[in-house]
Copies of this chain bind each other. A is one copy, B any other.
Amino acid sequence: MMKVGYLGPEGTFTEAATQAALPSVKRVAYETIPKSIDALFSDEVDGVVVPLENTIEGSVNITLDYLIHHRRAEICGEIIVPIQQHFVTHPNHTKSWSSVEVIYSHPHAIAQCHQFLRQVVPHAKVETMSSTGAAAKWLSEQPEDNAAAISNAWAAEKYGLDIVQHDINDYPNNHTRFVLLKNPASKGISISSGQPASEKTTMLVTLPSDYSGALHQVLSAFAWRKLNLTKIESRPMKTELGRYYFIIDVEGHQDTPLFQGAVGELEALGCGVDLLGSYPCFSYVAQAVKETQNYGSSF
């Protein structure tokens, strides 16, 4: 059976995304995102699922920086899942949920449910945990505590908690984009559930130094070939201010003649180009597979 790593403990959104996309693999929890990526290179796992981008928070810099500076894993699939936060309690406290004294969750989840917390449970103290999964786990181990957690439905089920208020996040259309990574030297692992909506290629581009208009030339190489960009992001090279890696997502597969022509031209211009993978894109609703949907737009 294939093994796939994720940011644990059990019940995190990363585990929910892994379960939705790869329902028949053995899931292995890791403490941190870098440790889960390292596990690919020590052959502990065949793949890992890592968060790359969220509707509200933006890019997950720890994932991007680890891929850029430490481990060049290959992206072999995209997994988009909705982020639905629920207000959960231990079954002992289901009826008295509105008078809980403490609420546990991850800082991002707390920030995303700010209006709910302020309006519905303004008296409760808020305590931060390392993940929504860790908050649900902690709550399940304190049956006496008059407390609640903010977590996903997956964690509530896993830890035997009751969902007392559904969908409490302030922004209704919140999604996280995860990617499935593999060791480039290993054989493949692929997403087995659902139909892909599209195909995408992610690459790292560095520009020739002190060359005005270089980024414009990079985009021109794609634009005149009608290759659509869906994302461009800059991350520091860490050598000096003002020097960046560009992480560029392009619709389509890197094996097409147009794509290869664009990459050849970038290299001829003096750019560094590192292809992180061409991969199918899947999106899921809750734990069910939904009709494929394409998020975002090209630009």
Binding site for B on A (CB under 8 A): 53-58, 61, 80, 171, 173, 175, 177, 207, 209-216, 219-220, 222-223, 226, 228-236, 238-244, 295-299
Residues of chain B lying within 8 A (CB to CB) of residue A241: 53-55, 80, 175, 177, 295-296
Question: What chain B residues lie within 8 Å of A222 (beta carbons)?
Answer: 216
A263 CA to B253 CA in the complex, in Å? 34
Residue contact B232 to A297, C-beta cutoff 8 Å: no
Q: How far is the CA of A256 from the CA of B207 in the complex (A)?
A: 28
Please name the residue on chain B nearest to A64 by beta carbon: B58
Q: Is A297 within 8 A of B56, CB to CB?
A: no
Q: Cβ of B236 and Cβ of A215 under 8 Å apart? A: no
B55 close to A238 (CB less than 8 A): yes
A240 and B58 within 8 A (CB): no
Interface contact A236-B299, CB-CB below 8 Å: no
Given A212-B228, A234-B233, A299-B211, check contact A173 B239 (CB 8 Å): yes
A239 to B215, CA, bound (A): 27
Q: Which residue of B lies closest to A249 (CB)?
A: B242
Please give the distance in Å from A299's CB to the nearest CB on chain B. Answer: 5
Most buried by B among A55, A80, A209, A229: A55
B-chain residues with CB within 8 Å of residue A235 when the two chains form the complex:
58
Chain B residues closer than 8 Å to A297, beta-carbon distance: 209-211, 242-243
Report A158 CB to chain B, min CB distance, Å.
Answer: 26
Can you list 14 A-B contacts (CB < 8 A)?
A55-B236, A55-B241, A58-B61, A58-B234, A58-B235, A177-B241, A212-B299, A213-B223, A213-B228, A231-B234, A231-B242, A240-B295, A242-B295, A242-B297
A177–B243 Cα distance when bound, in Å, is: 13
Chain B residues with CB below 8 A from A240, complex form = 55, 173, 175, 295-296
CB nearest to A234 among chain B residues:
B233
A55 to B239 CA separation, bound complex (whole angstroms) = 7
Contact B242 A226 (CB under 8 A): no
Q: Tell me the nearest residue of chain B to A173, going by C-beta.
A: B240
Task: Say whether, besides A55-B236, A236-B56, A299-B207, A242 and B230 are in contact (CB < 8 Å).
Answer: yes
Shortest distance between the CB of A35 and any CB in chain B (Å) = 16
Name the residue on B nearest A53 (C-beta). B241
Q: Which residues of B contact A209 (CB under 8 A)?
A: 297
